[in-house]
Copies of this chain bind each other. A is one copy, B any other.
């Protein structure tokens, strides 16, 4: 059972030193939500920090404002720890110890879970982003977001809803954005920060991966690979390939998009997306993986060329005719 925002607000007001914990490899929602919450709590006189385990990604650094800290050994214990955008404290493994030192723990999240990990919890899987919940908490506390806070919340919602196109987007998402406009948000500037700070090496890797794309099964399957050699040639990291599978899916007629990532000589990670009717979870589970109907993945312990053959065969089987 969730606690109410009123209870959570009350508890927050009782503490002085408050640390916020987004999940590791944080995305726009994790950073935007914690940035906005931290700013509000500081405004209320709290000694508040957001703890992270590595520096912010380039496209999220604009939300820093001296709130995000990679803690060293002698950071003081907090009165209150708040996990944001994650309902498992294992999602920030390097910071678990500090998290647990708090007298009171709170969780605010929107992921589906049976877990109520903290002393006080507000977990709503119907919210498109943790940012929506932070906005509602602010409302409960009669705090109108500042321009900067509203921009962080916009970033949270915009990134987690895929620019308001993903199926998690609701009327509430847009209602909240309406109120963020009342705080004077500069949306084009936020958009430039989020989406127009792509590292050149990431762009090189994307272009290389897309130029090597192949179509199978009458153009219904698009597949490309990311090899270790491609990473060397472009200077990019494997995580720079995150958007390639979505880009493959935008091609007309493609029902299943597959990106095979060479993690080792016989260790291939397959990242897959389905467009409208196909089920890529069925492909993933055949190789011991899992996920959702439209987004799934698996690790294949075999050479790359064999992984290509096997996954195409399975994808053709799943598509039928």
Contacts and interface: CB of A to CB of B under 8 A. Distances in A.
A165 B178 contact: no
A181 B187 contact: no
Interface of A: 58, 158, 162-167, 169-171, 174-175, 177-178, 181-182, 187-192, 195-200, 203, 207-208, 210-211, 213, 215, 219, 249-254, 275-276
Given A198-B252, A208-B211, 15 more contacts: A165-B195, A166-B188, A167-B187, A167-B188, A174-B177, A174-B181, A192-B276, A196-B250, A196-B251, A196-B252, A197-B250, A200-B219, A200-B252, A203-B210, A207-B211
Contacts of A210: 203, 207
A178 B174 contact: yes
A203 B276 contact: no
Contacts of A254: 196
A213 B204 CA distance: 10
A207 B213 CA distance: 10
Contacts of A200: 215, 219, 251-253
Given A171-B181, A171-B182, A203-B210, A58 B252 contact: yes
A173 to B, nearest CB: 9
Nearest to A191: B165
